[in-house]
Structure 1
Amino acid sequence: MPLTSPVDFLARKFDYLIVGGGTAGLVVAARLSENPALTVGVLEAGPVALGVETIDIPGLYGQTLGTDYDWKFETIPQPGLDGRTLAWPRGKVLGGTSALNFMTWNRASREDHDAWRDLGNKGWGWDDLLPYFKKTENFHTPEEFNQKANSLYYDKQAVGESGPIQVGYASEYSSSHQLWLKTMQSLGVESNRAHLAGSNVGVWTNLGSVDPHTGTRSYSTTTYCLPNASRPNLLVLTEACVTEIVLEKDDGEWTAKGVRFQRDGSSFFAAASREVIISAGSVQSPQILELSGIGNPDILSKARISVKVSNPNVGENLQDHIMAALIFEVDSTLSTPDDLKQHKAAADAARHQFRASRTGPLTILPNSICYLPFSHFVPSHQLRALSEEAGSITTIPDLERAIRQDRLAPSSAAKLGQIEYIFDLGNWNPFFQPPPSSYKKYATCLQILQYPFSKGSIHISSNNIADKPMIDPQYYGGTHGGPIDLSLMVHAARFAAYRIAQALPLAGIIRRRVFPPQVPVEDEDESFWRDWLTQTTITDWHPVGTCAMGGRIGMNPAGGGVVDDRLRVYGTKGLRVVDASVMPLQISAHLQATVYAIGEKGAAMILEDAQFENE
């Protein structure tokens, strides 16, 4: 891949500058630069990492976390988690978090995106977004044998077949996969044969963003950037950290004129004649806005930053999926990913097999997935009580509160995938350490809360870009209903422990639960599960909302949101945010496919607005 030097980058006159060459940023860059009359520059803080096996090989997912390709963010201590801090991985590499994630590819429900629209964000409903979901993906139809053997279902009308991201079903699965599908069906959960078409409720085999021809991760660098790197009007400068959006008054309005950035210990300025687009993600997009003088005056003044645009919503509205992992001892004859971690010979053999034929253990991803409504296992009177509790929360706007309350109403809840379960062989829980020299095998049942009430914030800690922002998700706490999350997670954990793990055929390979450790059943009361969840809940790394679309609230003089439904930053000209931070409400899905769709839609709106201005 040809690399741009700072000298070449600074010598160009840019129409658009994109801050962040990650999942969404490279989508925007590729689409804008399709017009040869526009010159587009991308500034990415991380390096290029082409050919890195821990990124490329699917079965090595997770091994880049905590490395130099990760920003290594952490939350501040969380009272709701017994004062623990949590690691918050984010990609510091060209491609951003699309280079680090676990390649899960799915979509939320129609109702999730229609809720964005109903908040007043025109053009962000399901029907509006579906063309952009399809535009980003190239779905590969699985072979007929694989379809039958692994229950691979899809709606042909709902998938894209000519987009950059290579998407498809794996050719190999863990030995527990079919047991998982049959077990959930035995518990009354139907198979979802169209899980990309507007409803994610049910059990199914999930897809991955993996190129079937090479067997490697398909992500924004290899799909949106690399094929277009030879365009003379697209310049990508890596290892360049943006420190500020330069704003100047133009006809009385603060207008983005360019950016300041650091590289190799020096500071530079690059100008943009049309727009600056921030695509730095849910952590750093609000950080960059605040460093540029856009945000809460109290926070900016403490950091000794002059206020240009007063907006107390910057960095607020943080929502994240929370996750807990039950661990079970399973039949010792099963092959698990832990075998590759514990035995060098097995790991070497797996690598050799993958390099030779793109087959074997290193092609297997955690694709045994199920999304359930709480009404499936929470008694209706308890669900109704939680819904009433949600309706009494006065710290969130009326429209949003109504949507959140309705999601827990027994009549509505049946339509939504409110808790995600993933089952796979191997130990995924960082808090469970098997005894040394143990020959036992383990499996994990993950439970991930999809519509958290917990809301937090991300704000700068100083006026120095090198100082990491303060991340405070307020898990299980705060004033927005965090305790409701803990109650829901208790219900979900009990269902996993007492119903899923004890149902055939999955129960046939499970010997016992080892985490949380089993105690006499009379002692496994509400407080037992609350204590365990408080001590072991972690993030599923899906933060959204810190530069949220304001919708109808944004139109109110009292203010609300950070960007409008065209993703333009309130109070400015020539400045937008295009990434997961603009999502006003969390969705029931892993974020990857949605962030690509936001990038596609954001780019289309930028081009539409430019054409309108030229007419």
Structure 2
Amino acid sequence: MNGDAAGESVESFLQHKFTHIVVGGGTAGLVVATRISENPNITVGILEAGVPAYDDPRINVPGRFGETLGSELDWQFATTPQPGLGGRSLPWPRGKVLGGTSALNFMTWNRGCREDYDAWEELGNKGWGWDALMPFFKKTENFHEPDAEHQAAHKSIFDKNYHGTGGPVQSVYSAHYGASHQHWHATCHKLGIDTNGSHFSGSNVGCWTSLTGVTPDTRERSYSAIAYYRPNANRPNLMLLTGAFAKEVVLEKEGGEWVTKGVRFTHEGQDHVVRVEGEVIISSGSVQSPQLLEVSGIGNPEILKAAGIETKVENLNVGEHLQDHMMTAMIVEIDSSIVTPEDLRADPALAEAADKEYALRHTGPRTAIPSSVSYLPFSHFVPFKELHALGSHLLVESKKDPARSTPRDRILVDRLLADKSIGQIEYNFDVSNYSPYFKSLPGKKYATMLQMLQYPFSKGSIHIPAMRNGKKTSMEDKPIIDPRYYSGPGGEIDFKLMVASQKFADKICATKPLADIIISRVYPAESSQGKGTDFDFSDWVRESTITDWHPIGTCSMGGKEGMKGGVIDDRLRVYGVKGLRVADASIMPLHIAAHPQATIYAIGEKAASLILKDWEKPHASNGHA
């Protein structure tokens, strides 16, 4: 039996006969493992490279978000130098802890537009449209309604018909807001942006106050380790091994087909193999899921050969179709009387008072999470003729090279040409300095206007590197992460739209009442002519764009194109292998207009449903020939 929420010893773990192994105890992996272990005839083992951190205040205290980035709880990945970003390489944080990135993210809880998920189904992925996914969105959530006073004070407006109750992950509006939030909705209204009273119902266009994945009573982060795994840790058919680094999925040939037999992993410097009678589910995230497939012999033969790995299943899509939300962080100086998170870091007395308030009443600055949000279509500030010209340019480019034109690309172009009211750009304003490039000056207070591109045309890849000194590439070798930001014809479109969007971000900051607390723009610095000038943001956007930490697509569903278009089918089964699935953000074929956390939980819930149905069929095959 599994002894406690920290897992068990490697010796005990290896004694079990597993029907299912989940590789990765992260956001989706713990959902899958917990849900399928509800069937007592299924025995589940979880391999997680990180450790539990249930009591770590850097994770649990909402107002301390971001402190774990770059820490021992982060894999500390980085991109290759990006030509589209002036040669810069970006850090790519990913959670190396039980709970994965759900333990490191900024707790934003929202959903994409109906069109986002319907596009997945349009590509041929049956059961992945908005209506089909809605039960899984609701199943994961336990929504706590704010009272009338909170709704009036903070515009915490909702439609409870689109929220779940009784699910493992708690969602609640913040107990404390930064000083700028009181001005957010009124400022947006002056710019023709309406408050969206039901931004979970299929359209998040407009401005709204964001929900958070936080517990309502203790005001602590609600994430997969706490919400899904720990309450069920003592199930006799659910086993966890932490500190277990998966090295390879063990595949054997049977009757002409590759069959999954287990996982080879390292624990405390020793190699082990855990066998499986049914399926292995890879939930290692958009970076490591394709990496694990490749070291197991599934992928592009040229890449595998260079790495010294035998090709077992040829699939050119493994590690491809990488999409990420690109972000800029414009910094403004604000009124010196406003309290910011930097004040707490600089003043021990203030920090102590905030910690005491949080401990005693679960309120105050330590509960604050950025919540001033707006999603807009480009047409709100870019003339439709310009959008049409950009889309037409991509169509012309695709005719020059038809091989580069995919159904996914055509959906993205259609969104520009159709002038649909969907959330193509996100704005998020908060009183803090979020820029890794601008250093706060002593005695100054700052706020950040974040903007994030939601439907990038830029597509990159994540692959294992070639072997060095004759040594075969392994999981220990850092993957080559190349998002190709702003590269290629599509990247040029992304860049132009980001520059146009940045001008509107500047306009938001120059509009009252938000402008009343802003002294000046400091990054990029205002020109000598002062406010209101037609500032050219082009160079600054290229020099300052960073990631919003939302990579998807590297093991995407193939839909109608099958293996030609993806890595897995719509039941998440890896093409060409029996008994192997992928369930995490990497399966998404197109990006969504949302922070992906809630969607990844829904992916985990749907994956568990598919696995259970296939397992319970008396004579069904659990994999692919």
Q: TM-score, normalised by structure 1?
A: 0.97
Q: Using a 3 Å threshold, how does the CA distance of structure 1 residues 613 and 309 change in structure 2: closer, same or farther?
A: farther
Letter in 2 for 1:305: I
The separation in 1 between residues aligned to 2:529 and 2:260, in whole angstroms, is: 62
Letter in 1 for 2:424: Q
Letter in 2 for 1:609: D
Equivalent residue, structure 2, for 1:368: 372
Letter in 2 for 1:483: E
2:572 pairs with one of 553, 564, 567: 567
Equivalent residue, structure 2, for 1:428: 434
* 8 Å Cα contact 1:448-1:540 kept in structure 2: yes
Q: Using a 3 Å threshold, how does the CA distance of structure 1 residues 380 and 30 change in structure 2: closer, same or farther?
A: same
The separation in 2 between residues aligned to 1:434 and 1:112, in whole angstroms, is: 38
CA drift at 1:401: 2.4
CA drift at 1:170: 1.1
The separation in 1 between residues aligned to 2:7 and 2:123, in whole angstroms, is: 42
Aligned to 1:83, the other structure's residue is in SS state coil
CA drift at 1:439: 1.3
CA drift at 1:528: 3.9
2:202 matches 1:195: no
Equivalent residue, structure 2, for 1:416: 422
Q: Report % sequence identity.
A: 55
Equivalent residue, structure 2, for 1:283: 287
Q: Using a 3 Å threshold, how does the CA distance of structure 1 residues 441 and 527 change in structure 2: closer, same or farther?
A: closer
Aligned to 1:383, the other structure's residue is in SS state helix
Equivalent residue, structure 2, for 1:39: 43
Q: Using a 3 Å threshold, how does the CA distance of structure 1 residues 62 and 590 change in structure 2: closer, same or farther?
A: same
Provide, for residues 546-566 of structure 1, a one-character-per-residue CA deviation record: whole Å limited to 9, x for no partner: 0000001116xxx22000010
| Higher mean C-alpha deviation, range 468-477 or range 341-350 | 341-350
1:318 pairs with one of 302, 315, 322: 322
* 8 Å Cα contact 2:384-2:419 kept in structure 1: no
Aligned to 2:560, the other structure's residue is in SS state helix
Equivalent residue, structure 2, for 1:155: 159
The separation in 2 between residues aligned to 1:542 and 1:68, in whole angstroms, is: 20
The separation in 1 between residues aligned to 2:458 and 2:124, in whole angstroms, is: 22
1:23 pairs with one of 21, 27, 46: 27
CA drift at 1:361: 0.4
Equivalent residue, structure 2, for 1:333: 337
2:251 matches 1:241: no
Correspondence 1:430-445 to 2 at 5 A: 430-435=436-441, 438-445=442-449
CA drift at 1:610: 1.1
The separation in 1 between residues aligned to 2:242 and 2:406, in whole angstroms, is: 43
1:70 pairs with one of 71, 74, 78: 74
* 8 Å Cα contact 1:286-1:315 kept in structure 2: yes
Aligned to 2:617, the other structure's residue is in SS state helix
Q: Using a 3 Å threshold, how does the CA distance of structure 1 residues 523 and 218 change in structure 2: closer, same or farther?
A: closer
Equivalent residue, structure 1, for 2:501: 492
Letter in 2 for 1:247: L
The separation in 1 between residues aligned to 2:35 and 2:58, in whole angstroms, is: 28
The separation in 2 between residues aligned to 1:584 and 1:34, in whole angstroms, is: 29
The separation in 2 between residues aligned to 1:223 and 1:260, in whole angstroms, is: 28
The separation in 2 between residues aligned to 1:324 and 1:216, in whole angstroms, is: 28
Provide, for residues 148-179 of structure 1, a one-character-per-residue CA deviation record: whole Å limited to 9, x for no partner: 11111111110000100000111221111020
* 8 Å Cα contact 2:409-2:457 kept in structure 1: no
Letter in 1 for 2:184: W
Equivalent residue, structure 2, for 1:530: 538
Equivalent residue, structure 2, for 1:357: 361
* 8 Å Cα contact 1:579-1:598 kept in structure 2: yes
Letter in 2 for 1:227: P
| Higher mean C-alpha deviation, range 135-144 or range 391-400 | 391-400
Large movers: runs of 4+ above 6 Å: 522-527
Correspondence 1:254-273 to 2 at 5 A: 254-273=258-277
Equivalent residue, structure 1, for 2:623: none
1:110 pairs with one of 103, 109, 114: 114
Equivalent residue, structure 2, for 1:474: 484
Equivalent residue, structure 2, for 1:390: 394
Give the RMSD, CA atoms, in angstroms: 1.5
* 8 Å Cα contact 1:390-1:404 kept in structure 2: no
Provide, for residues 358-409 of structure 1, a one-character-per-residue CA deviation record: whole Å limited to 9, x for no partner: 1110001000000000000001211111111232343544422221111112
Q: Using a 3 Å threshold, how does the CA distance of structure 1 residues 521 and 614 change in structure 2: closer, same or farther?
A: farther
Gap runs ≥5 in structure 2: 468-472, 621-625
CA drift at 1:526: 9.1
Aligned to 1:285, the other structure's residue is in SS state helix
CA drift at 1:524: 10
1:589 pairs with one of 583, 591, 594: 594
* 8 Å Cα contact 1:243-1:262 kept in structure 2: yes
Q: Using a 3 Å threshold, how does the CA distance of structure 1 residues 611 and 508 change in structure 2: closer, same or farther?
A: same
The separation in 2 between residues aligned to 1:3 and 1:236, in whole angstroms, is: 5
The separation in 1 between residues aligned to 2:31 and 2:397, in whole angstroms, is: 38
Q: Using a 3 Å threshold, how does the CA distance of structure 1 residues 6 and 361 change in structure 2: closer, same or farther?
A: same
Letter in 1 for 2:144: H
* 8 Å Cα contact 1:318-1:546 kept in structure 2: yes
Letter in 1 for 2:419: S
* 8 Å Cα contact 1:244-1:292 kept in structure 2: yes
Aligned to 1:203, the other structure's residue is in SS state strand
The separation in 2 between residues aligned to 1:296 and 1:27, in whole angstroms, is: 30
Aligned to 1:258, the other structure's residue is in SS state strand
| Higher mean C-alpha deviation, range 95-104 or range 339-348 | 339-348
Equivalenced residue count is: 606
Gap runs ≥5 in structure 1: none
| Higher mean C-alpha deviation, range 584-593 or range 171-180 | 171-180
2:15 pairs with one of 11, 15, 18: 11
